[in-house]
């Protein structure tokens, strides 16, 4: 079994979030209000907010089925509401040093194996801030990424259908446990069979990086 924080996968980015997720210790409350996010980016933001508000070491990860976990050395209460609760699949309220989701979060994909090659985003050259300082503003060029997904033929077929939905651009947050590796738009997706393993398939995905 892989360690909890070594499971890679990705989660779909969407709008229309409502509600919040919060972590309370005593009178201090760390709160995240999602906007255009994925369950992965919400969880990463919650970990960051907990470290800022409560201090100490916070760990968060997802297991192979997509269930979210957050952990701290001191007992805390995690509360969630509305679509933030349903999309992350959390309880309304739960208390402990380790709190786990009530089921797999929505819009998550955690296949058998992933090979990911990403290119870091970089500030665009030749652009100066409008305030006369000459500083390079926070304008990011689009990075590229290549993703190969090995899973059962059925799982990859269903994923391929989701990625190439003609009604919208599929945007994903790629992450592993408590670490994020960027936000990407799917540009292409091609399915192939890896040799004679008819029950399995390889899905090759071309990605364009966007500012997260």
CA–CA dist 184, 29 (Å, integer): 31
Full-model pTM: 0.84
Q: Does a structural domain hold residue 105?
A: no
Kindly state whether residues 165 and 115 are assigned to the same domain: yes
| pLDDT tens-digit readout, 17-49 | 999 999 999 999 999 999 999 999 999 999 999
- φ/ψ region of 196 (left if φ > 0, alpha if ψ in -120 to 50, else beta) reads alpha
CA–CA dist 155, 54 (Å, integer): 40
User: Which of 105, 79, 81, 99 is CA-nearest to residue 24?
Assistant: 79
The helix/strand count (H/E) of the chain reads as: 3, 12
Kindly state whether residues 31 and 95 are assigned to the same domain: yes
| pLDDT tens-digit readout, 155-204 | 999 888 888 776 668 899 999 878 888 888 998 899 887 666 678 899 99
* Number of domains present in the structure of the chain: 2
User: Which of 136, 129, 120, 149 is CA-nearest to residue 211?
Assistant: 120
Kindly state whether residues 96 and 179 are assigned to the same domain: no
Kindly state whether residues 135 and 183 are assigned to the same domain: yes
Q: Does a structural domain hold residue 106?
A: no
CA–CA dist 37, 35 (Å, integer): 6
Domain that holds residue 157: 111-210
> Final residue of a domain: which of 48, 69, 100?
100
Q: Would the pLDDT of 53 be above 80?
A: yes
């Amino acid at each position: 079994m892989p360690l909890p924080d070594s499971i890679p996968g990705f989660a779909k980015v969407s709008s229309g979030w409502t509600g919040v997720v919060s972590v309370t210790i005593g009178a201090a409350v760390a709160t995240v209000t999602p906007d255009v996010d994925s369950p992965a980016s919400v969880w990463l933001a919650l970990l960051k907010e907990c470290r800022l508000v409560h201090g100490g070491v916070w760990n968060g990860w997802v297991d192979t089925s997509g269930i979210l976990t957050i952990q701290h050395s001191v007992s805390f209460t995690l509360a969630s509401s509305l679509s933030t609760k349903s999309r992350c699949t959390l309880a309304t309220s739960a208390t402990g040093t380790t709190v786990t989701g009530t089921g797999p979060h929505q819009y998550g994909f955690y296949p058998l194996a992933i090979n990911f090659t990403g290119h870091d985003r970089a500030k665009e050259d030749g652009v100066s801030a409008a305030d006369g300082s000459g500083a390079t503003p926070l304008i990011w060029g689009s990075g590229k990424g290549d993703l190969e997904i090995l899973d059962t033929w059925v799982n990859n077929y269903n994923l391929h259908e989701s990625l190439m939905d003609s009604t919208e651009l599929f945007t994903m947050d790629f992450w592993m446990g408590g670490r994020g590796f960027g936000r990407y738009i799917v540009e292409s997706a091609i399915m192939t069979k890896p040799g004679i393993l008819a029950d399995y398939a390889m899905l090759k995905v071309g990605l364009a990086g966007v500012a997260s």
